[in-house]
DNA sequence: AACGTTTTCAACCGCCGCCTG
DNA sequence: ACAGGCGGCGGTTGAAAACGT
């Protein structure tokens, strides 16, 4: 159509931050006349602004019903859940959050929630686990697919939407698995016979583009240590995200769950405490690892709340059938 | 205290869809 | 059916504030 911008015809129209005087004029005018026509309003109010600018100022700032201040955890939850269903439809999301504007929600998403989701290893666009670990791409997708079901077969968009809102604990597990696989694959390359060591003792964080090489001279943990680490991971995820799990809904505020992690990509998998009072770090290392112990811990983690656990079991069977120590 | 860097958020830009003549 | 006007929306920008060194 080639329509010209609303203010193009008037180069003298003011732009930039609004002054208190302008605000007052706008409020007075709308209180007096309403805003039947935004295009006509500036002249009526005596403002050297375009109608669009007036509308924006009113809807995003001056409207009397605007709620100011920090977003609550409940609001944050609502935004995440609605975004999983609606995508970047900020105005639609805003209709579910009284007093919040689409602009405010959009800003909050871009500056806060997006980062948190990325930290959790969740793609903010798809709300699915990130699959940018190229060498694990196929497996990750398989796992996601097994959790999500076959979305392509669903015709009902709401059903699809609910499926997309994967239970966060499942997402977290996938991430945990990805992280473990990343370490394994990295250490296969370095011929490290104890690929889980760094993960378990906290020396390896998964934010590293190249995971730090694990010293060969570290003797390995006893089985109890690995299990402790797994339990920590488990508590971390389940306590953080899966309480009273209602399928498809993030139950826990993101601000509580992963904020303190230093990992820009994935959640940390070990206890926050890295001091020497930590039972993990403090435990005497006497035994060489048996991979079966690791798998046992995994089995416990996986079977605890997996309904049928079939996809995990298949994975375990696959990995357990590998010779020991790990050799892929 | 000064400076550089990062984060936040108000405001703008341009496109889209609805409505009207 | 079509063109133009308008409001609304989402993406982006840049100044200000906050933070770190």
In this structure, the protein residues whose CB atom falls closer than 7 angstroms to any atom of nucleic acid strand C are A 1-3, 6, 37-39, 51-52, 55-56, 88-92, 102-103, 106-107, 110
| Residue A42 in tokens | 């500036």
Q: What dotted CATH number matches A20-62?
A: 1.10.10
Distance in angstroms: CA A65, C1' B2: 42
Q: Quick: pLDDT tens for A281-310.
A: 333 333 333 333 333 434 344 333 333 333
Q: Could you say which DSSP state residue A195 is in?
A: T
C1' of nucleotide B10: residue with nearest CA: A17
- Say whether A73-119 and A20-62 share the same fold: yes
Q: Quick: pLDDT tens for A115-142.
A: 888 888 888 888 877 665 443 444 444 4
Does domain A73-119 match CATH 1.10.3720.10? no
* Cα–Cα dist A251/A165, whole Å: 11
User: How does DSSP assign A217-264, residue by residue?
Assistant: TPPPPPHHHHHHHHHHHHHHHHHHH-TT--TT---S-HHHHSTT---S
Distance in angstroms: CA A146, C1' C15: 47
Distance in angstroms: CA A48, C1' B17: 28
Residue where the block lists tokens 């999301």? A93
Q: What is the pLDDT along chain A (328 residues), one digit of tens a residue?
A: 333 445 544 567 888 999 999 999 999 999 988 888 898 899 899 999 999 999 999 999 998 889 888 899 999 999 999 998 899 999 999 999 999 999 999 999 999 998 888 888 888 888 877 665 443 444 444 444 444 444 343 443 333 344 444 444 444 445 555 555 554 444 444 444 343 333 333 333 333 333 332 222 222 332 333 223 333 333 222 323 223 333 334 444 454 444 433 333 333 332 222 323 233 233 333 333 333 333 343 434 433 333 333 334 433 333 333 333 322 2
* Beta carbons within 10 angstroms of residue A190's beta carbon: 12
Domain boundaries, chain A: 20-62, 73-119, 134-320
* Cα–Cα dist A242/A252, whole Å: 7
């Amino acid at each position: 159509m080639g329509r010209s911008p609303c203010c193009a015809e008037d180069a003298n129209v003011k732009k930039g931050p609004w002054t208190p005087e302008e605000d007052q004029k706008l409020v007075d005018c709308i209180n007096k006349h309403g805003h039947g026509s935004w295009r006509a309003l500036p002249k009526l109010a005596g403002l050297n602004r375009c109608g669009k600018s007036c509308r924006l100022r009113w809807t995003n700032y001056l409207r009397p019903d605007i709620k100011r201040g920090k977003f609550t955890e409940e609001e944050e939850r609502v935004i995440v859940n609605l975004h999983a269903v609606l995508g970047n439809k900020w105005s639609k999301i805003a209709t579910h959050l009284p007093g919040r504007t689409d602009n405010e929600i959009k800003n909050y998403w871009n500056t806060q929630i997006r980062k948190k989701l990325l930290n959790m290893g969740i793609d903010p666009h798809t709300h699915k686990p990130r699959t940018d670990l190229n060498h694990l791409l196929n497996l990750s997708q398989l796992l996601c697919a097994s959790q999500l079901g076959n979305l392509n077969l669903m015709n009902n968009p709401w059903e699809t939407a609910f499926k997309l809102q994967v239970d966060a604990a499942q997402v977290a597990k996938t991430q945990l698995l990805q992280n473990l696989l990343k370490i394994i694959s990295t250490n296969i390359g370095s011929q490290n016979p104890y690929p889980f060591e760094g993960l378990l003792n906290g020396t390896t964080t998964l934010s590293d583009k190249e995971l730090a090489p694990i010293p060969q001279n570290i003797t390995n943990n006893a089985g109890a240590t690995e299990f402790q680490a797994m339990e920590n991971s488990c508590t971390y995820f389940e306590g953080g995200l899966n309480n009273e799990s209602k399928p498809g809904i993030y139950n826990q505020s993101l601000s509580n769950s992963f904020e303190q992690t230093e990992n820009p990509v994935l959640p940390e998998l070990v206890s926050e405490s890295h001091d020497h009072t930590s039972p993990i770090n403090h435990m005497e290392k006497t035994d060489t690892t048996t991979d079966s112990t690791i798998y046992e811990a995994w089995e416990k983690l996986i079977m605890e709340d997996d309904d049928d656990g079939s996809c995990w079991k298949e994975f375990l069977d696959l990995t357990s059938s590998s010779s020991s120590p790990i050799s892929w």
